[in-house]
Structure 1
């Protein structure tokens, strides 16, 4: 599915009357990366996209919106939105509806071996709870490292610096609940 992230980013930035340099400053995303995203030369990480969305007073879903034909209550197998990043090494399946006004995001995260969702830690408002369905997931949280195995869960305040990485040899599949909505 072609979401045209670059053109949507450029249109929203122009509507807000921001230069690339101004957007870079308020989003903490480099001017070079913003330019590459707008020209569809790269697919941004989920965190970079989240930073841009926050700076532009929207959410990640803005870049992936399409006409929804369901009532926003039920999402059937095969109809979930999937965000692919990091050269097809991480996949985010949105399990909750992406309509405006909801208070919670549910996401299935698949990380291939050696993949992290972002190089640097992230801090934002809210709370997160993750549950590992398959594989092993290392969570860097506030200077500590937690290794989660199948069946383990973790809960934390999202304002603490955090990131996830799959240091194992197999794919890791986990389910995450986040509030306020990240996507």
Structure 2
């Protein structure tokens, strides 16, 4: 019996989009990368469109210029679907709120929370802060009063407010009905294993 050897899939590696996204995130032009890597602009353009396969040495040169780990080009993306019904219940404090974590517990770049606030729900009498760079609050339905050091902001269905990280604030559902919110916290205020 002959030993079976794995065969290549035949599918081309799609690394161009990762290279292009990394270049653009650093505000570099193709000409900048070409000059630093001693590769032609046309060649880099074709690599970014996955129209050609670079040699190992060309790929190493591109990764060095972009400060990108070579292995990261071949890693599968971390994609995870969390159904609302399966989202973890969490407690961010306050009263009258049911809060669900819509992003994976181990995700440190961002957290998305969905809050269902009963009439009279509150984040508490005292203003609090969250250890993050920015919070974005979006009202899916109902209304909310966001309390800040300088006053109050009334938010209605469809409104979105950005709050600077570590800014003292709290909230109240003063409406007679239920309010649904999405909170996006960047970076995640906390993470742990699921």
State the TM-score, normalized to the length of structure 2.
Answer: 0.52
Mean Cα displacement is larger for which, 141-150 or 72-81?
Answer: 72-81
CA contact (8 A) 1:72 1:97 kept: no
| SS across alignment from 1:89 | strand
CA–CA distance in structure 1, aligned partners of residues 121 and 96 of structure 2: 6
Structure 1 residue ranges, 4+ long, deviating more than 6 angstroms after superposition: 85-88
Residues 103-135 of structure 1 show CA distances to partners (whole Å, capped at 9, x for unaligned) of 110000111111112221112332100110111
Q: Distance in 2 between matches of 1:140 and 1:119?
A: 10
Corresponding pairs, count: 112
Whether 1:131 aligns to 2:117 is no
Structure showing greater radius of gyration is 2
CA RMSD of aligned residues (A): 2.3
1:73 is aligned to 80
Output aligned runs, 1:21-170, within 5 Å.
Answer: 73-83=80-90, 89-99=96-106, 101-125=107-131, 126-170=133-177
**Where in structure 2 are there 5+ consecutive unaligned residues?**
1-77
8 Å Cα contact 1:85/1:91 also seen in 2: no
Per-residue deviation, residues 61-88 of structure 1 (Å, max 9, x unmatched): xxxxxxxxxx861213421111368797
- The DSSP-based 3-state class of the residue aligned with 1:177 is strand
Deviation per residue, 1:2-30 (Å, 9 max, x gap): xxxxxxxxxxxxxxxxxxxxxxxxxxxxx
Q: Please give the TM-score of this superposition, normalised by the length of structure 1.
A: 0.55
